[in-house]
């Protein structure tokens, strides 16, 4: 029986019962299924394993192993488990009064024993580029280098240490062609609006941390507005209490200034369908009191 649901290859949750533990209490069984264990002889399946979430430790029954045609021997304070063909799967040393099977250690040992010559030399040269190692063999640059496979098997260490960030596309594949065909909003998270048929017309877009290239249109527009606002406050030496007024001025200017997305037009002109861009000198009058 086990308390780890992730160990199951198959799990039947319709099997519901109770088991009695050492202190006499009964705890619920939430299912029964098949567990896969990686051993020195390969992957082995153990059937009819109980899923008991409330137990502290996973328990492997000697009696059930024997019923499943496994062989179990005890000698010299060791527990040896063999498969039906007589091949040794686990050799467990006694600790205290019990035998604790660490699946992670045995899995690691099994993987090392099953490694190919190619994987062995990949680790030996500190995961150097495999094509260059093949080049060394072909041109006899290194002595005692055996024949290696042309393709390097999947190596977790190479994937971890050599991963690189792919370039981001400079342009998107689709752009809106009509007003209000695509609207971006930044409201601090996902919000449901039944009147707008949320599931059909709204998409919650997520970005990865420390990747400014993935910033949405709203994030980039906010950055542009803040840059113009800070420049105006700094240039005129205005106090921060005028932040809202300067930000409003920045938005107004952005609406009547050209953008790369609109050729020879301003956002104001496209939206209202007439031109209005007044960037001339403003005349004001100060009344004498």
154 burial (CB, 10 Å; 0-12 / 13-18 / 19+) is exposed
Q: How far apart are CA 40 and CA 109, in angstroms?
A: 7
pLDDT confidence of residue 108: 41
Other beta carbons less than 10 A from residue 68's beta carbon:
15
Other beta carbons less than 10 A from residue 143's beta carbon:
5
pLDDT confidence of residue 237: 92
Closest to 162 in 3D by CA, of 129, 210, 208:
129
Q: List the chain pLDDT tens, one digit each, 289 residues.
A: 888 887 787 888 887 788 887 777 888 888 888 887 776 666 677 788 888 888 887 788 888 788 878 888 888 888 888 887 788 888 888 887 788 776 544 444 444 444 567 887 888 888 888 888 888 888 888 877 888 888 877 788 888 888 887 787 777 777 778 888 888 777 666 666 666 555 566 777 777 777 777 777 778 888 999 999 999 999 989 999 999 999 999 999 998 888 887 878 888 888 888 776 565 566 667 777 6
What is each CA distance from 67 to 83, 84, 226, in whole angstroms?
12, 11, 73
Dmax (CA) for the chain in angstroms is 110
Q: How far apart are CA 101 and CA 72, in angstroms?
A: 13
pLDDT confidence of residue 187: 67
Q: How far apart are CA 146 and CA 82, in angstroms?
A: 34
Q: How far apart are CA 37 and CA 5, in angstroms?
A: 14
pLDDT confidence of residue 194: 62
Look at residue 50 and give its three-state secondary structure: strand
Whole-prediction pTM: 0.40
Domains (range + CATH), the chain: 5-113 (2.40.70), 115-161 (no CATH), 174-202+214-289 (no CATH)
Q: How far apart are CA 228 and CA 30, in angstroms?
A: 61
pLDDT confidence of residue 230: 94
Q: How far apart are CA 267 and CA 97, in angstroms?
A: 79
Cα 42 vs. chain centroid, distance in angstroms? 28
Instruction: Extract the tokens encoding 152.
Output: 């390097």
């Amino acid at each position: 029986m086990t308390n780890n649901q992730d160990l199951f290859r198959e799990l039947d949750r319709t099997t519901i019962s109770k088991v009695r533990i050492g202190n006499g209490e009964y705890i619920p069984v939430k299912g029964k299924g098949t567990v896969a264990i990686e051993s020195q002889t390969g992957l082995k399946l153990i059937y009819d394993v109980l899923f008991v979430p409330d137990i502290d430790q996973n328990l492997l029954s000697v009696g059930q192993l024997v019923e499943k045609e496994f062989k179990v021997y005890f000698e010299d304070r060791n527990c040896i488990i063999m498969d039906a063909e007589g091949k040794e799967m686990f050799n467990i040393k006694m600790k205290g009064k019990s035998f604790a099977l660490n699946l992670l250690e045995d899995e690691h040992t099994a993987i090392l024993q099953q490694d190919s010559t190619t994987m062995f030399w990949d680790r030996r040269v500190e995961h150097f580029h495999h094509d260059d190692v093949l080049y060394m063999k072909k041109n006899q640059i290194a002595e005692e280098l055996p024949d290696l496979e042309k393709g390097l098997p999947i190596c977790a260490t190479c994937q971890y240490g050599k991963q690189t960030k792919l370039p981001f596309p400079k342009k998107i594949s689709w752009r809106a062609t009509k007003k209000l065909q695509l609207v971006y909003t930044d409201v601090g998270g996902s919000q449901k609006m039944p009147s707008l048929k949320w599931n059909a017309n709204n998409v919650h877009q997520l970005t990865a941390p420390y990747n400014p290239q993935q910033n949405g249109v709203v994030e980039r527009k906010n950055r542009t507005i803040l840059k113009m606002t800070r420049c105006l406050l700094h240039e005129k030496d205005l106090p921060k209490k005028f932040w809202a007024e300067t930000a409003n001025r920045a938005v107004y200017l952005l609406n009547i200034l050209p953008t790369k997305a609109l050729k020879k037009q301003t956002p104001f002109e496209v939206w209202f369908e007439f031109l209005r861009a007044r960037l001339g000198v403003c005349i004001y009058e100060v009344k004498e009191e």
